[in-house]
Amino acid sequence: MAADAPRSNFIRQIIDKDLASGKHSQVHTRFPPEPNGFLHIGHAKSIVLNFGIAEDYQGTCNLRFDDTNPLKEKVDFVNSIQEDVRWLGYDWEGKPRYSSNYFDQLHGFAVELIEKGLAYVDFSTQEAMREMRGTLKEPGVNSPYRDTSVEENLKHFADMTAGKYEEGTAALRAKIDMSSPFMVLRDPVIYRVRFAHHHQTGDKWCVYPMYDFTHCISDALEGITHSLCTLEFQDNRRLYDWVLDNISIDCHPQQIEFSRLNLQYTVMSKRKLHLLVEEGKVSGWDDPRMPTIAGMRRRGYTPSSVREFCHRIGVTKMDNQVEMSMLEACIRDELNHGAPRAMAVIDPVRLVIENYPEGEVEQLQAPNHPNDDSMGTRELPFAREIYIEREDFRESANKKYKRLVLDKEVRLRNAYVVKAERVEKDADGNITTIFCTYDPDTLGKDPADGRKVKGVIHWVAAEHAKPAEFRLYDRLFQVPNPAAEEDFFSTLNPDSLVVKQGYVEPGMATAKAEQPFQFERIGYFCADNQDSSAKQLVFNQTVGLRDTWNDEA
């Protein structure tokens, strides 16, 4: 169970009124994903809303798979969705449900509409149907099959069900109003022929119901009180209500729409996410650059940070673009307080302390968190040779540079003050070794003679450090709204993944997958949940210590 403080919004106000008036005595919601891809951060908003409301009102929430299109659905997607919901901290009422559980009943309701003269089988081509549908400014035109008799329509639908018609040659349409100002009410298709193996029902069916017909009936069969969906289904509410008003069913849930999540520097369209995976632009659905819940988890986001983000953005009816920095701030705020510290060098250069005894190894104490003593301490081996970041040394620099410079001093984090004396370079002029001296009287204290050492840099002992791969992730796209571009691939960020080979302090060899750490002075990281092992450590950067995108802006 996810323990988050409830925050009021217009949906909760509706629910409060319904409970106060006696319209409902309890709340029953549902989360109805299509199993045609991995869930993304936009789905997380819906999960937090639906499951959160059920928790806060001591109600129930169903997980129901909208599995009406077997051509695009996979059991792998079903499994990943269940895992994502549980990872976010929620559980559902009873077993997972499927729209396919209700295929027999849905078929029966379709027959009922035919018997009432409210549905007919149309043999028009899809192109002809589109033309007859009209436009926003012009009414539609009745199909030549609209006035077919009930008896003939029952026979045709039975033949569709028996597999006597090829795909695309026959469809069952609701008979509503071809002149309606709402396109969704212009005799929508509610059943189509599709010869496809279904992951739940096998080969039992060759006709499948459409989403708008299925969803409302599934809600009603499950006793849902409040059917929460995003704003693009606002007009569809009229069809939702029409179907339930015209079939023999007692329950009539209330559909309520809220704005979907639009997050900058990424895409939320499953079609576009599919393309990223299929075209090899990312390593898979769980690539840490993807906005999928699995990708965010692999990158090091925590369930509580995702829930907090969903709470911060709120629930409204107003569409807008949410800044990526808002999401990053949620995980940064959490890890700043809760992540233990460690040291890693991602672009190493060798440093030799010439006056430190050869062969000696000293165990130094370092706090696991500078502001939380309850996290305890750890031991760091310190020896004559260490690694530091290449960018933490310059042969000469101005006064603003607070790191190691030739003939200048700097403090090694949790260790001694060292002074750079000379360097060695390779044939190309690259520095290979920095030679220093250290002041043995500066462990845990300032130099005795009052020398002011302003800079502090991190390090790892060369002999004891563990080699590691560091995957530095940035935003997947270079523009805030890539979905608006004609070719969204053209806006991909070529630097969205940079791989470095470096070292971590020895204690990181046992880091658990997804366990967050702050690598001091670098950022927040976690061990990759797939590729990291004791033999090959791999750390994913979750987020930097600060928002560099806003700095650049």
List, by residue number, the catalytic residues: 34, 260, 270
174 strand-pairing partners: 119
Amino acid at 59: G
Smallest CA-to-CA distance from 255 within 21, 26, 40, 32 is with 32
Q: Which of 246, 235, 214, 269 is nearest to 98 (CA)?
A: 214
For residue 536, the 8-state DSSP code is S
How far, in Å, CA of 431 to CA of 427, rounded? 10
> What residues does 431 pair with on adjacent strands?
425
Burial profile 475-502: b = 16 or more Cβ within 10 angstroms, e = fewer:
bbbebbbbeeeeebeebbeeebbeebeb
Strands of 442-490 (E only): list them: 456-457, 460-461, 466-473
What is the distance between the terminal CA atoms of the chain, rounded to a whole angstrom?
40
Contact 266, 476 (CB under 8 A): yes
Give the Cα-Cα-Cα angle 544, 350, 361 (nearest 5 degrees). Answer: 100
Residue 352 CB partners (closer than 8 Å, separation 6+): 384, 385, 433, 434, 435, 436
* Greatest extent of the chain over all pairs of C-alpha atoms, in Å: 104
DSSP assignment string, 132-188: HH--SSS-----TTTT--HHHHHHHHHHHHTT-S-TTS-EEEE---TT-SSGGGSS-
Is 245 exposed, middle or buried, given 0-12, 13-18 or 19+ CB atoms closer than 10 A? Answer: exposed
Buried b (16+ CB within 10 A) or exposed e, 267-280: bbebeebeebbeee
273, 277, 282, 287 alpha-carbon torsion, rounded to 10°: 70
**Residue 392: which residues within 8 A CB-CB, separation 6 or more?**
403, 404, 410, 457, 458
* 66, 60 contact by CB (below 8 A): no
**Residues 123/145, Cβ–Cβ less than 8 Å:** yes
Three-state SS for 337-406 is HHCCEECEECCEEEEEECCCCCCCCEEEEEECCCCCHHHCEEEEEECCEEEEEHHHEECCCCCCCCCEEE
| Cα–Cα dist 475/323, whole Å | 12
